[in-house]
Amino acid sequence: MAKPAVLTHPESLKHPAGPSAYAKDPVNASMTKEAKIALYTKMARIRHFEQRCIRIYQQGKIGGFLHLYVGQEAVAAGTISLLGKNDHLITGYRDHGHGLMVGMGMNECMAELTGKVTGCSQGKGGSMHYFAPDKNYWGGHGIVGGQAPLGTGLAYAVKYQGLKGSCLTFMGDGAVNQGAVHEAYNLASLWDLPVIFVVENNGYSMGTSQERSTAHPGCLAKRAEGYNMAWDVINGHDVYEVRAKTALALKRAHEESKPTVLEIFTYRYFGHSMADPDKTYREKEEIKTYRDKKDPVLLFEQELLHEKVLTPELSQTINDAAMAEADKAAIFADESPDPTLADITKHIYWEEDNRGPKTTSRGTIIFE
């Protein structure tokens, strides 16, 4: 096997173990003890939900693709924990962590994976297509980079309506070479839109390392300079750093209506999807290094133990509860009914689902 290219995460790998340099950043220092415990709990819930998914997938109950977020928890947790009522988010297909962070329930998320009518999209979306617009979460999109113009449009709508808000538009490092992303960058900067492009750089676009896929000037975020946009790089293993630097981008969006590109260095422990045997493009040792030294959930746990916010007992309780919640969700997903044959042709058109005196179209719209 050819030696895989070295990941461009030197900054994050150099980050010393021990207390985060960003713990004293105002956005973190101002957190209550309860808020910190809640943030840790959410990260633990993502971890245990995803690990429970693996078992269900291996039992053959999840079809299609399953892209796990294990290892990347601090990215969704750090960024989304900062959002207010006029802040929106949208992402690609590795979307479970974001869903749980905005407050989607494990039951609806798990049932969506098994294609049940109790799922968040009633079994019509699957793993890659979670949505919770009532929580400002606009998906869950399957085509790499295709969500970038949508997120820019959500930010446009917020600005049009005169609201002080933003749209966090997440994507993977593989998305940065898609034309739609570059078109979105251009529009965001040209029109001063309050959008924050978050590149979750886990080093691999599927099985192709960043070095083999992307020409870049040292980091992916720096491409923002070509569009006259602000940018920053973040160690995505430190949730405090994610929060501190994302807060600056949010401030820029809220107060100046300007976009930002944030590149967050992170790592996924499992293959691109469960269909990826993960044997050809990276060394096992690399995964072990990240698991042992850079795990974002363990690092935040240590941080909070150090701060005496957490105790080992409380941490154990939180993790046990998250595991139990995931187990219950698995049972819920298992026992829920499938959508019916008649459900196949629902939710295609708003008008067909809302027939009434005000709907005007006629004719055949669903064909035999």
Partner 1 sequence: MAVISYREALRAAMRDELNRDKNVVIMGEEVAQFNGAYKVTEGLLKEFGPKRIVDTPISEAGFIGLGIGASMLGIRPVMELMFWSFSYVAFDQIVNNAGNIRYMSGGLINCPIVIRGPANGGTNVGATHSHTPEAILASHPGIKVVCPATPYDAKGLLKAAIRDNDPVYVMENTILYNDKGEVPDEDYIVPIGVADVKRIGTDLTIVAHGRAVITSLKAAEILEKDHGVSVEVVDLRSIRPLDEETILKSVRKTHRALLVEENKPFCGVDAQVAYLIQSKAFDELDAPVHRVSSIDAPQIYCKRMEDLQMPSVERVVAEALKVLA
**Residue 143 binds partner 1, judged by CB under 8 A:** yes
Report yes or no: 73 and 80 within 8 Å, Cβ to Cβ: no
**Residue 366 binds partner 1, judged by CB under 8 A:** yes
Token readout for 176 is 């940065």
| C-alpha to C-alpha distance for 314 and 90, rounded to whole angstroms | 33
Q: Which of residues 74-93 bind partner 1 (CB under 8 A)?
A: 88, 90
Question: Of these, 5, 54, 64, 122, which contacts partner 1 (CB under 8 A)?
Answer: 122
Q: CB of residue 250 vs partner 1: minimum separation in angstroms?
A: 18
Nearer to partner 1, 157 or 247 (CB): 157
Token readout for 76 is 């969704």
Segment contacting partner 1 (CB under 8 A): 127-135, 214-222, 239-247, 323-331? 127-135
Segment contacting partner 1 (CB under 8 A): 11-19, 153-161, 233-241, 269-277? 153-161
A 10 A CB-CB count for 183 gives 14
DSSP 8-state symbol, 263: E
The interface mask with partner 1, positions 178-207, x = CB under 8 A, is -xx--xx-xx--x-----------------
Nearer to partner 1, 72 or 121 (CB): 121
Task: Provide the sign of the torsion angle of the four alpha carbons 59, 63, 64, 68, taken in this order.
Answer: negative
Residue reference for tokens 């300079």: 225
Angle between helices 296-306 and 239-256 (to 10 degrees): 100
Q: CB of residue 301 vs partner 1: minimum separation in angstroms?
A: 34
Give the containing element (helix H, strand E) for 204: strand 204-205
Q: CB of residue 258 vs partner 1: minimum separation in angstroms?
A: 17
| C-alpha to C-alpha distance for 182 and 185, rounded to whole angstroms | 5
Binding site for partner 1 (CB under 8 A): 88, 90, 119-125, 129, 131-134, 138-143, 146, 148-154, 156-158, 160-161, 167, 179-180, 183-184, 186-187, 190, 346-351, 353-354, 360-367
